Amino acid sequence: MSIIAARLHNQLLVDNKLTSARAVVQHLGAVQSQEYPGAKWALAQRLPGVTNQKLDSLFNDGDILRTHVMRPTWHFLAPEDIRWMLELTAPRIEQLMSYYNRKLDLNRALFDRTGHIIGRAVVGGNFLTRQEIAKILQSNGIETPTQRMGHIMMQAELDGVICSGPLRGRQFTYGLLSERAPHAKRLGRDESIALLAKRYFTSHGPATIQDFAWWSGLTMTDAKLGVTLNKTLVTQRINDTAYWLSSDTKEAARIPHMLLLSVYDEYTIAYKDYSPVFPPHAQNLTKLLGNAWLNYVVIKDGCVIGSFRRLAKPKEMQLEFRLVVPITQADKTHIQDAAERYAAFFGLPPRISYAA
């Protein structure tokens, strides 16, 4: 089995029959979304024809929600999944954040107090920005310098008090989770582990148990339990490594010649081992994760061949490519086509250049 062909199929980058952003998010389990435009583009790659404005509308309406879950970063979630996934993964995030919380003089008693204040402030659909919530906390005698406020807000999300509200212009707001997701499911711990494992290996496989543990933030013990609890998952040895996947996994009917993806796309970021997607000629790029040049990546035949920077101007989308392999004129034509799709999503024509 080809890891690339199976992942492209399972991640819905080809052969996708789902028709809604919510269904795509639920299939993937969660979609990393700290970079909001990139996260929308990740959904658009899997939903041909969907517009940037449509995804903003779905987000504003709460059809997809955004909160801190699993690893301590934002993810899109389906509303019905937000409670059980938070209850499963929040304790691990709290362990990871405990050292920093102590340095910021934050503790459980204070989080209970701030959570209560924030919950009362946003009740009844009173969506507030982070700055507005900070002022309310300050009026209650709570100090909110930038880093401390970030931890307070994250904990309120982990505690299931708040999640994303509708955009206010370009500003994010927060709303009461119980109002944004009134039908969110609650599951037992083993049931949650089993469901998360099923979602991950069905949508991200072939993948290793170490990949799942990294993506979910769970311990290796819990990651192994998730596999054990799922009888529909099977293992295959590929290049002397044990990979897990759904028993009905198919390989992509075709491999897209060129894709432009966010570095936070699930296709690139959701694995501890980058090597199947970052071949030897691109391995050095993995050392630059978070670097401005690696915000977005160029994928040729399923593998990373470089990166690009983008700058939205009033009348055009400027895209500057830096590639780590030689490309042909045909490759440039495919990049042009992919760039036009990307820029059109934001309602702009592209202007392409290549870095030396």
Mean residue pLDDT of the chain comes to 95
CB 244 within 8 A of CB 235: yes
pLDDT surpassing 70 at residue 290: no
User: 133-142: string of b/e by CB count within 10 Å (b at 16+)?
Assistant: bbebbeeeeb
Q: Give the chain as a 3 state SS string.
A: CCHHHHHHHHCCCCCCCCCCHHHHHHHHCCEECCCHHHHHHHHHHHCCCCCHHHHHHHHHHCCCEEEEECCEEEEEECHHHHHHHHHHHHHHHHHHHHHHHHHCCCCHHHHHHHHHHHHHHHCCCCCEEHHHHHHHHHHCCCCCCHHHHHHHHHHHHHCCCEEECCCECCECEEEEHHHHCCCCCCCCHHHHHHHHHHHHHHHHCCECHHHHHHHHCCCHHHHHHHHHCCCCEEEEEECCEEEEEECCCCCCCCCCCEEEEECCCHHHHCCCCCCCCCCHHHHHHHHHCCCHHHCEEEEECCEEEEEEEEEECCCCEEEEEEECCCCCHHHHHHHHHHHHHHHHHCCCCEEEEECC
Predicted confidence band of residue 285 (pLDDT cuts 50, 70, 90): confident
pLDDT average, residue stretch 108-130: 98
Q: How confident is the model over 151-183, as pLDDT tens digits?
A: 999 999 999 999 999 999 999 999 999 999 999
Distance of CA 226 to the CA centre of its chain: 21
Say what the pLDDT of residue 148 is: 97
For tokens 């311990």, what's the residue?
219
Per-residue pLDDT reduced to its tens digit, 312-336: 999 999 999 999 999 999 999 999 9
* 300-315 exposure pattern, b = at least 16 Cβ within 10 A, e = fewer: bebbbbbbbbbeeeee
pLDDT at 292: 52
Q: What is the pLDDT of residue 293?
A: 57
Confidence bin at 280 (pLDDT 50/70/90): confident
For the segment 63-72, the average pLDDT, to the nearest whole number, is 95
Tell me: pLDDT of 270 over 90: yes
Q: Give the pTM.
A: 0.95
Identify the structural domains of the chain with CATH numbers, from first to last.
3-180 (no CATH), 190-246 (1.10.10.10), 278-354 (no CATH)
Q: Is the model's pLDDT at 88 over the cut of 90? A: yes
Q: What is the pLDDT of residues 14-42, one digit of tens each?
A: 989 999 999 999 999 999 999 999 999 99
pLDDT tens digits for range 186-242: 999 999 999 999 999 999 999 999 999 999 999 999 999 999 999 999 999 998 999
